[in-house]
């Protein structure tokens, strides 16, 4: 199988070669591939002649999206439109990766695939628009929502905590923002398994369970064997010190119902974090 991957240099895209071992991976990454240029998207995908498209590219800087809303919609919504239209014309399935930030975090329990999205930020609204582009324009689309993605490389919360713990004796982290940390490798494996089943629609893939940002930071520091102490604070207190442009959902934990029905479930988040930070103990 030939798999065209947008955002191939990112955290998730980088894991696709391993997850689709034995298949040909055709990367779509800047500067050769411009997601905001319809002709560029069409030329790249037509030349690749893929059997599957995994659309992992996105503008994921949540606060950056708030400052640059037009860019957010060009990349996350219009870019997904260009990929979906080309996938439809080529007759190949599309996996469009989305986010837990399409929800407002007020449900009080994990979100199902069928819960009504109510995004709080430009990032969440632009990603929701991308979901709708994919599902409306291509009848062979999977939308995979995920959350708090991290890996040993790239910019992510886990790596930020490790870096800061090496620079400061004490870190302040919010304890009332909850979600599901997701190891990019586990997400890539789940997507590869999903692509084998022509059961299109919305899926929630994140490592099982949930935690607060404070709990994730504390467990990260502990597993890494670092000495920094973590001080919990409320979101309100944190924002009074360090204002941020974008609102975050208080609890955006996702529940995997649709994928589990196909036998696709991700390991617990603490197990995934341990495998990431202590690879010798896998």
pLDDT at 29: 77
pLDDT at 32: 79
pLDDT at 30: 77
Domain 2-149+182-209+251-268 part of CATH 3.40.50.720: yes
Single out the catalytic residue among 101, 111, 123, 142. Answer: 123
User: What is the domain partition of the chain in residue ranges?
Assistant: 2-149+182-209+251-268
Report how far residue 266's alpha carbon sits from residue 11's, in angstroms, rounded to the nearest whole number. Answer: 17
DSSP secondary structure letters along the chain: -EEEEETTTSHHHHHHHHHTTTSEEEEE-TTT--TT-HHHHHHHHHHH--SEEEE------HHHHHH-HHHHHIIIIIHHHHHHHHHHHHT--EEEEEEGGGS-S-SSSPBPTTSPP---SHHHHHHHHHHHHHHHH-TTEEEEEE-SEE-SSSS-HHHHHHHHHTT-SEEEEESS-EE--EEHHHHHHHHHHHTTS---EEEE---BS-EEHHHHHHHHHHHHT---EEEEE-HHHHHHHS--SS---SB--B--SHHHHTT--PPBHHHHHHHHH-GGG-
Of 133, 131, 136, 66, give the one whose Cα is nearest residue 98: 131
- Catalytic, 203? Answer no
From first to last of the 282 residues of the chain, give the pLDDT tens digit.
999 999 999 999 999 999 999 999 999 977 779 999 999 999 999 999 999 999 999 999 999 999 999 999 999 999 999 999 999 999 999 999 999 999 999 999 999 999 999 999 999 999 999 999 999 999 999 999 999 999 998 899 999 999 999 999 999 999 999 999 999 999 999 999 999 999 999 999 999 999 999 999 999 999 999 999 999 999 999 999 999 999 999 999 999 999 999 999 999 999 999 999 987 655
Residue 238: how many other CB atoms lie within 10 Å: 19
Name every residue whose Cβ is closer than 8 Å to that of residue 237 and which is 6 or more positions away in sequence. none
């Amino acid at each position: 199988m030939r798999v065209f991957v947008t955002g191939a240099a990112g955290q998730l895209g980088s894991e696709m070669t391993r997850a689709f071992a034995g298949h040909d991976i055709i990367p779509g990454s800047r500067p050769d591939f411009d997601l905001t240029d319809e002709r560029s998207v069409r030329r790249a995908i037509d030349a690749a002649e893929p059997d599957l498209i995994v659309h992992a590219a996105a503008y994921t800087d949540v606060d950056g999206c708030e400052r640059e809303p037009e860019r957010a919609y060009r990349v996350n919504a219009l870019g997904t439109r260009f990929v979906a239209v080309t996938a439809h014309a080529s007759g190949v399935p599309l996996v469009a990766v989305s986010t837990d930030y399409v929800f407002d975090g007020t449900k009080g329990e994990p979100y199902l695939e069928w819960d009504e999205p109510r995004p709080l930020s430009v990032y969440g609204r632009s990603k929701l628009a991308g979901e709708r582009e994919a599902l409306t324009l291509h009848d062979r689309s999977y939308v995979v929502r995920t959350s708090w993605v991290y890996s040993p490389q790239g910019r992510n919360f886990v790596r930020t905590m490790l870096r800061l713990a090496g620079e400061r004796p004490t870190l302040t982290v919010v304890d009332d923002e909850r979600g599901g940390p997701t190891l990019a490798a586990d997400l890539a494996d789940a997507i590869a398994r999903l692509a084998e089943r022509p059961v299109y629609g919305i899926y929630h893939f994140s490592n099982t369970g949930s935690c607060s940002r404070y709990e994730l930071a504390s467990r990260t520091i502990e597993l890494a064997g670092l000495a920094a102490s973590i001080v919990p604070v409320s979101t309100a207190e944190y924002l009074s010190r360090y204002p941020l442009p974008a609102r975050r959902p208080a609890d955006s934990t996702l529940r995997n119902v649709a994928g589990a029905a196909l036998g696709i479930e991700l390991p617990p988040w603490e197990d995934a974090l341990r495998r990431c930070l202590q690879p010798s103990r896998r």
